[in-house]
């Protein structure tokens, strides 16, 4: 079994990751961690430096998270993608062919609690495999 877990670095994503690992622990699936860094809006030197810093921080975060998952006894594949998170998630799904895709819904105010976030809603509508959305 393969699970594609999309981690945006938020506290709600980390809670969802820990819950997902607990839930699927008996099956010992391969966990594919995906973190997406959005590209720069323009080609200015300032934006390029910001992007390089965000990419480096994303890589460090992904390595720490992969170690956390590995330390719990799971096989881990880690992917750092660049671009629109919605599209990058679907591209990872297409290439890795997971049995299930897991995302978390970002918490917010009362209105936000009634609807899914834009990324999770998009993934639910367009993914080809089953999607599990954790509400934190």
Please give the model's pTM, rounded to 2 decimal places.
0.87
**Coil, strand or helix at 131:** strand
| Domain range list for the chain | 2-135
| Distance separating alpha carbons of residues 47 and 54, to the nearest angstrom | 10
Task: Give bridge partners of residue 34 from the DSSP assignment.
Answer: 6, 79
Give the domain 2-135 fold: Rossmann fold (3.40.50)
- Per-residue model confidence (pLDDT) at position 110: 38
Crossing angle between the packed helical segments 118-126 and 85-96, to the nearest 10 degrees: 40
pLDDT at 40 over 70: no
Q: What is the tens place of the pLDDT at every residue in 81-104?
A: 999 999 999 999 999 999 999 999
Q: What is the tens place of the pLDDT at every residue in 55-82?
A: 899 999 999 999 999 999 999 999 999 9
- Per-residue model confidence (pLDDT) at position 87: 94
């Amino acid at each position: 079994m393969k699970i594609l877990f999309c981690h945006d670095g938020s506290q709600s994503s980390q809670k969802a990751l820990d819950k997902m690992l607990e839930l699927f622990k008996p099956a010992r699936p391969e966990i594919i961690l995906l973190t997406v860094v959005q590209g720069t809006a323009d080609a200015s030197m300032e934006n390029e430096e910001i992007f390089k810093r965000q990419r480096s921080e994303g890589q460090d975060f992904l390595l720490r998270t992969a170690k956390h998952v590995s330390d719990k006894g799971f096989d881990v594949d880690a992917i750092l993608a660049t671009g629109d998170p919605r599209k990058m998630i679907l591209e990872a799904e297409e290439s890795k062919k997971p049995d299930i895709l897991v995302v978390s819904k970002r918490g917010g105010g009362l209105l936000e609690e009634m609807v899914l976030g834009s990324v999770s809603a998009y993934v639910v509508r367009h993914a080809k495999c089953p999607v599990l959305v954790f509400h934190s």
